[in-house]
Amino acid sequence: MQVDVIVFDRDTGILRAYEVKRGFGLHDSGKRRSMLRDTLAVQVLLKSYGTQRGLEVKQAFSHIIFYYGQCSIPKPFSVKGTELDEHFGFPVYDAVEEVNKHYKARLFAILAGG
């Protein structure tokens, strides 16, 4: 698992690690096993990691965000992009989409020679 984001909630003591996948397709069975194994390994080590950094970690979880919704591993280890607001408990999805729109416009401007 390539950890892209680590989130610590001081109010609950929950530390979470995330890998973000932005592909549209599903992974083969070997890759799915590897992803699940790596996600579990990160989850096992995450509490110790946070504690070593001075955080008061009560629980630790790891997830893979499948931004476009094609989940290759089961819940509770997977989160779809459309579930981000519910997962985090505050608006996230629309902010990510705004950033996506910005970079898409910039990319097309560059490709058009602008």
104 located within any domain: no
Nearest to 78 by CA among 7, 19, 6, 38: 19
Cβ pair 68, 55 in contact under 8 A: no
113 located within any domain: no
SS3 70: coil
The per-residue pLDDT for range 69-113, each reduced to its tens digit, is: 888 888 999 999 999 999 999 999 999 999 999 999 999 999 998
The residue segments making up the domain with residue 68 are 5-88
List the 59-66 sheet strands across, edge first: 5-9, 14-21, 59-66, 78-80
75 located within any domain: yes
Whole-prediction pTM: 0.86
Question: In which band, very low, low, confident or very high, does the pLDDT at 114 lie, cut at 50, 70 and 90?
Answer: low
Q: How many domains, the chain?
A: 1
The per-residue pLDDT for range 6-61, each reduced to its tens digit, is: 999 999 999 999 999 988 778 888 888 999 999 999 999 999 999 999 999 999 99
Cβ pair 85, 45 in contact under 8 A: no
105 located within any domain: no
Token pair belonging to 43: 């989850």
23 located within any domain: yes
